């Protein structure tokens, strides 16, 4: 995003300029202050939290007691493991299924490809949460309720909705590439695997980002379908920790910070890709 030379030069007057900067600074404060509060409180001992102001720095930034307590009591390693498992299966699944569907519909000249594409598009307009009651019915009649497969299957199913992204990307791969490979006698599968898949790597990155953000954030799937403690994800693990320690703010903030840190780190290093990915995901 080379925005530096892209801004337009029309002059706003000084008052507008002041207003614009004021709003941006206020929004910055609005975003950063809550995070600052959570961070400083999470390093305070019980006594310290009760006796000092909520905005003061902790006496000792190396006081990791709250974090240790959290890791012992909220079974976080397990929760992070489960979340990772869902992310990995979903990313692999959506990359495979998405590229296969896009290839089949855009390149194989199948008879009904237009109608099949439509089949994939219509569900984007079904408000997904309203059908949870019947999804629950289906998951429980498949005997997946309270098993790890409930999450795996439901996240894979959610990927299908992002398939249209791949069809957008595949249109940009020049047809000459696959036609010349066909001339040389490559099978359609070879064309898919050796020519199309490598060209779709940017699409894979976009989908991976969308899936990581989506799954890491999701509350409903683990909450409704996997209440068992060994199946908790980071979100539901934090929720059960809150039921026990909800008002011990030094403990709670340690939980909040811990759960936020992985995506904050990701954001620090991959920000450009994440912003581009989120924009693509919505606009395309």
Partner 1 sequence: MNKALQLKKRGSMKRENTERVVLGTLFLFVPLAFLIVFSYYPAVRLFQLSFSDWDGLSNNFHYVGFDNYKSVARDETVMHAFRNTLAYVAMMFVQLAIALYVAVVLDSKIRAKNFFRSVIALPFILNGAAVVYLFTLLYDYQASPINFLLQKIGLDPIHFLPNSYALNLSLAFMGLWKGLGLGVIIFLGSLQSIPRDLYEAAEIDGASYFQAIRYISIPNITRIIELQLFLGITGSLQAYGESLITFPTGGPGGIADTLMTRTLSIAFKYSQFGRAAAMGVMLMILILLVVGVQRMLLRRNEASE
Considering only residues 223 through 262, tell me which ones interact with partner 1, judged by CB under 8 A. Answer: 223-224, 234-235, 238-239, 242, 246-247, 249, 252-253, 255-256, 259-260
From first CA to last CA, the distance across the chain in angstroms is 17
188 interacts with partner 1 by CB under 8 A? yes
| Segment contacting partner 1 by CB under 8 A, of 57-65, 71-79, 198-206, 217-225 | 217-225
131 interacts with partner 1 by CB under 8 A? yes
Residue with tokens 């959290």: 70
Alpha carbon of residue 106 to chain centroid: 27
Rounded least distance, CB 254 to partner 1, Å:
11
Alpha carbon of residue 13 to chain centroid: 40
Q: How many CA atoms lie within 13 A of 133 on its CB side?
A: 1
62: helix, coil or strand? coil
Q: Which of 69, 157, 172, 206 binds partner 1 (CB under 8 A)?
A: 157
Contact between residue 91 and residue 158 where contact means Cβ atoms under 8 Å apart: no
Closest to 15 in 3D by CA, of 7, 23, 6: 23
Contact between residue 170 and residue 107 where contact means Cβ atoms under 8 Å apart: yes
Considering only residues 37 through 76, tell me which ones interact with partner 1, judged by CB under 8 A. Answer: 37-38, 41, 53-55
Closest to partner 1 by CB, 142 or 201: 142
| Segment contacting partner 1 by CB under 8 A, of 63-71, 95-103, 172-180, 197-205 | 95-103
Contact between residue 95 and residue 207 where contact means Cβ atoms under 8 Å apart: yes
- Number of residues located near partner 1, criterion CB under 8 A: 101
31 interacts with partner 1 by CB under 8 A? yes
Rounded least distance, CB 178 to partner 1, Å:
12
Closest to partner 1 by CB, 18 or 68: 18
């Amino acid at each position: 995003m080379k925005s530096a030379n892209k801004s337009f030069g029309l002059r706003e007057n000084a008052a507008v300029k002041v207003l614009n900067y004021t709003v941006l600074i206020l929004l910055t404060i609005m975003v950063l202050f809550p995070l600052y509060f959570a961070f400083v409180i999470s390093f305070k001992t019980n006594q310290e939290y009760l006796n000092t102001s909520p905005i003061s720095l902790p006496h000792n930034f190396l006081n990791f007691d709250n974090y240790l307590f959290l890791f012992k009591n909220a079974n976080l390693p397990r929760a992070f493991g489960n979340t990772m498992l869902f992310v990995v299966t979903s990313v692999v699944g959506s990359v495979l299924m998405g590229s296969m569907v896009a290839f089949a519909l855009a390149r194989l000249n199948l008879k009904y490809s237009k109608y099949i594409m439509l089949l994939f598009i219509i569900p984007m307009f079904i408000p997904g949460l309203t059908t949870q009651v019947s999804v629950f019915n289906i998951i429980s009649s498949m005997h997946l309720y309270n098993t790890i497969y409930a999450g795996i299957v439901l996240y894979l199913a959610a990927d299908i909705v992002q398939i249209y992204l791949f069809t957008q990307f595949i249109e940009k791969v020049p047809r000459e590439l696959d036609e010349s490979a066909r001339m040389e006698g490559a099978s359609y599968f070879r064309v898919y695997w050796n020519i199309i898949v490598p060209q779709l790597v940017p699409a894979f990155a976009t989908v991976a980002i969308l899936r990581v953000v989506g799954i890491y954030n999701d509350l409903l799937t683990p909450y409704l379908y996997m209440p068992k403690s060994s199946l908790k994800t980071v979100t539901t693990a934090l929720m059960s920790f809150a039921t026990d320690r909800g008002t011990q703010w030094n403990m709670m903030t340690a939980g909040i910070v811990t759960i936020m840190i992985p995506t904050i780190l990701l954001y620090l290093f991959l920000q450009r890709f994440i912003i581009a990915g989120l924009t693509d995901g919505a606009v395309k």
